Amino acid sequence: MKRNALQLLFLLATPFLLFTNCNEAPTETNSDTASGPPNIIVLLADDLGYGDLSAYGSQSIHTPNIDALAAAGMKFTRFYAGSAVCSPSRASLLTGKFPLRFDIRQHFDDREMHLPAGTLTFPRVLQQNGYRTAHIGKWHLGGIRIQDFTARTAGEAANPGPLQHGFDHYLCNIEDPLVRPELIRERKLYREGGKTLVRNDRRIDEIPKHWTEIKVDEAINVIEESRKADQPFFVNLWFDVPHTPYEPAPERHLSVYEKMGVKGDQLWFRSMVSHLDEQIGRLIDHLETSGLLENTIIVFTSDNGPAYQGSPGPFKGGKTDLHEGGIRVPMIAVWPNRIPANTYSFQTAHMTDLFPTLSALAGIEVEASDLDGMDLSQHLLEQTPLERGVLLWQMDLYKHFQNQGPKPTPYATTVAMNENWKLLADSLQTTELFDLEADHRELYNQLGQQDSIEQLLHTEMRSFLAAPRKSWKK
C-alpha cells in the first residue's frame, strides 16, 4: 500500500483513537463524501492461519498492509470459519447457513459437487437491491468446469456457477479435473494460472501475469466500472494464497526471507503471504485515490485454519481438524468513520454472520429465521456485546492432517459450541469438552464433569444432524 493510503487509514482512525475507548459507543459521523449505499469488499484468503499475520502476532511474516486494515477497523479474536476445509466454509459465507444444511461435508472435487441451484445467497440479495456484484478468484463451489460453462453458453443444462448464484460478473481459474490438478502438481497455479481463465462463462485469452495480481487487476476494473456507472458494488475477492502449491512469489518478497535463512516450502509460503499483502495494499490504494475508500466496507478473513507451512497461532490443530486451530481464523472489518478504528472484538462470531451483518450495514432487511448467522452490525458500530445461540460444525473425517505433526486425537467430525463451552464428537459419540474461556488451547478435557452443559450441546448436535438438508444430489 502506498504511503498516502496508509496515512488516510490512520487519519480516518484518529477521531476514534482520541475520543473513544473500547467501552464507549462511537459518535456517529456524517461524511460529505460518503453517501448512498456502502460498497462492500470481502477479501478471503485460503488456508491462512490465525498466526500467519503480524497483526495477529506472527514473528515470521511481515504484513504491513493487512496490519493497517486492522488498525483502521475492528480485529476479531474469536471469529470462526464455517468449516475446517474449503468448500463448506465458502458455502456458509455466501448463504449465511451452516454447510450441512446443503449436505456439504467436505471440499468439492471439481466434478459433480456444487452449491444447489436456487439457493438464496448474499450476492443475490445485493443484486436485487441495486448492487453490481462480482466474484473474482477461487470459487470451489462447482459449475465452472469446461463442460458446465460450455453448456450454459449453448443454452443447455449445467451445474450452476457464479452467475447462477447472484453474481453479475466473474473471473475464475477453470476448476476442472482436466486443468487444475496439473497446475497444482507442477506448481504452476500462481505463475501460469493466467493461461486457464474463464470470465462470465467464456474462456479468455492468456493474461501473462501472476494469478494473485490478475485478481486485483480485475477487482480494480470492476470498481472503476461501478464508479463510472454510479452504482454500489460488491466485490467478492477470493484469493488462492497461501494454499498449495507453494511457489516463489515475485520479488521483492522472496529475497527478504532468503536473507533470513528461510528455505524450501516455508520460504515460498512466506513470500506468497507477503505478496498477497502487497496486492491488498494496491487495492486499498486504488480505493483511496478514486475517492471510494470512506464509503466502502472491507472484510478480510480466511476460509479455514492453516495447512502445512501455516501457523494456527496459540491454538491446537489446523486445516481438516475441528479443534480451534482448524476453524478459528483472522477477521478484520473496516468502514472508515463508522466501525471504530483500532478496536479489538472478543465477540464470538461466525462466517455465517457476514450475510446478515453486511446486509444490515447496507440497509437491506433479510429474514433472520432463514439464516444460521446473526446480525453483528450493532456490535461493529457500537461495540455492543451480543448473545448468540449454539454454533455447529460437521464435516467428514479427514484422517490425513494438513498441518504439521500428527492430527490431534481423538478425531472429531461434529462440534457444538455455546458461549465458552465446546463439545466435540465423532458423529454423535462425544469425545471432548472444553471451556475455551479458561482453556483456549484445548488441553483439559472436561467430558463427564459438566453434565448439564454436555447434555445441552449433545441435544443440539442430534437435532442438527437429523435436520433436513438441501443437497445438490437431489
The CATH number for 341's domain is 3.40.720.10
* pLDDT reading at 33 higher than 50: no
- Per-residue confidence (pLDDT) for residue 8, from 0 to 100: 56
**110 Cβ contact list (under 8 Å, min separation 6):** 140, 142, 145, 175, 176, 177, 180
Predicted confidence (pLDDT) per residue in 341-386, tens digit: 999 999 999 999 999 999 999 999 998 888 999 999 999 999 999 9
Tell me the residue type at 328: R
Count of residues for the chain?
474
**Residue 380 shares a structural domain with residue 422:** no
* pLDDT reading at 24 higher than 90: no
- Per-residue confidence (pLDDT) for residue 135, from 0 to 100: 98
Note down the domain range covering 427.
409-466
90 versus 15: the higher-pLDDT residue is: 90
- Residue 31 domain flag: no
Nearest in space to 474 (alpha carbons), one of 114, 186, 126, 4: 114
**Residue 157 shares a structural domain with residue 208:** yes
Q: Which whole number is the average pLDDT over 273-277?
A: 98
SS (H, E, C) 296-358: EEEEEEECCCCCCCCCCCCCCCCCCCCCHHHHEEEEEEECCCCCCCCEEECCCEEHHHHHHHH
- Residue 471 domain flag: no
- Residue 396 domain flag: no
- Residue 292 domain flag: yes
Q: Which residues on neighbouring strands pair with residue 49, listed in sequence order?
A: none
Confidence of residue 7 (pLDDT cuts 50, 70, 90): low
Nearest in space to 85 (alpha carbons), one of 140, 43, 30, 21: 140
**Residue 300 shares a structural domain with residue 420:** no
For the chain, how many structural domains are there in total? 2
- Residue 106 domain flag: yes
Contact 202, 149 (CB under 8 A): yes
**Residue 264 shares a structural domain with residue 116:** yes
- Residue 473 domain flag: no
**Residue 190 shares a structural domain with residue 281:** yes
Mean of per-residue pLDDT scores for the chain:
93
Predicted confidence (pLDDT) per residue in 204-217, tens digit: 999 999 999 999 99
- Per-residue confidence (pLDDT) for residue 4, from 0 to 100: 52
The CATH number for 454's domain is 3.30.1120.10
- Per-residue confidence (pLDDT) for residue 21, from 0 to 100: 36
Of 357, 387, 417, the residue at which a domain comes to its end is: 387
**Residue 432 shares a structural domain with residue 379:** no
**185 Cβ contact list (under 8 Å, min separation 6):** 245
* pLDDT reading at 17 higher than 70: no
**Residue 175 shares a structural domain with residue 279:** yes
Whether omega before 245 lies within 30 degrees of 0, making that bond cis, reads: yes
CA distance 319 to 402: 6
- Residue 295 domain flag: yes
**Residue 182 shares a structural domain with residue 306:** yes
- Residue 29 domain flag: no
**Residue 131 shares a structural domain with residue 197:** yes
The H-or-E segment that residue 237 falls in is strand 233-238
**Residue 416 shares a structural domain with residue 383:** no
**Residue 181 shares a structural domain with residue 325:** yes
**Residue 320 shares a structural domain with residue 355:** yes
Q: What is the DSSP string of 26-88?
A: PPP---SS--SSPEEEEEEESS--TTSSGGGT-SS---HHHHHHHHHSEEEEEEE-S-SSHHH
pLDDT over 70 percentage in the chain:
93
Predicted confidence (pLDDT) per residue in 99-108, tens digit: 999 999 999 9
